[in-house]
Each structure stands twice: as structure tokens, then as C-alpha cells.
Amino acid sequence: MQRKIIIIIISCFLLNTLFTGLVFAQNIKTRMKNRLPVINGLKAKGIVGENNKGFLEFIGGKKKNAGVIKAENADRAAVYKAIAKQQKTTSELVGKRRALQIAKSAKTGEWLQNAGGKWIKK
């Protein structure tokens, strides 16, 4: 009887952990999707670019919509951390890999930072 109770408690804990993780991931996905039009607009205007670590960075002196960029980078950091934990690697490596993916799909005229740290316009 005691063993069944322990199994039930552990099962409830695992299900709660899984559910919490799914809700967390869905919240991040929704927030990122909602910010995308603003970010795409800032990229199109050359105000922000994608750095070589998988994060957004301001180009030049304009800091328009800084709160949006800060929130996006925070969510990206959380995603990279979760992926790194899953893949038993570092979030820095995940970010660098993501930066390469982003660079491939970037639109003409968007700013990208190459591996050496130099900003280039695609």
C-alpha cells in the first residue's frame, strides 16, 4: 500500500513538472510570435540585427522598442537554456547554432554579425 502511494505521488510530481514545462514553452512561443511583426519591422529598417550568438542587437545609435528587444532576447536565452539542457551542451553553443540558422533565412538588407564579430548587410 505504501509503495502505491509513493508511486502515485511521484507520478503526480512528474506530470505536474511536465505540464508546467509545456505551459512555460507555450507562453514563450506565444510571446515570441506576438513580437515578431515589431522585430521584423525593426530589422527591415536596419535598427536591429542578428548577432553571432543568436540574439538581437541594435545597429548604430537608435534604440527604438528597446523593451521588445530585451524581452525577445530574454525568451531566446530561456529557450537556448532549455535546449542545451536537453542536448547536454551549453546555451552559448545552442545560440551560435541558432545564429547560423537565422543567417540562412535572413532577408536581403538585414544586418547579421559574422563569426568574427563584423556586421554585414545580407
| Residue 102 located in a structural domain | yes
- For residue 84, the enclosing domain spans 36-121
Helix/strand/coil percentages in the chain, nearest 5: 65, 10, 25
| Residue 56 located in a structural domain | yes
Average pLDDT over residues 68-93: 96
User: What pTM did the predictor assign?
Assistant: 0.79
Write out pLDDT tens, residues 10-56.
433 333 444 445 445 689 999 999 999 999 999 999 999 999 999 99
| Residue 15 located in a structural domain | no
* Overall domain count for the chain: 1
92 to each of 38, 49, 64, 83, 107, how far by Cα in Å?
25, 18, 26, 11, 24
In the predicted model, what is the mean pLDDT of the chain?
A: 85
| Residue 16 located in a structural domain | no
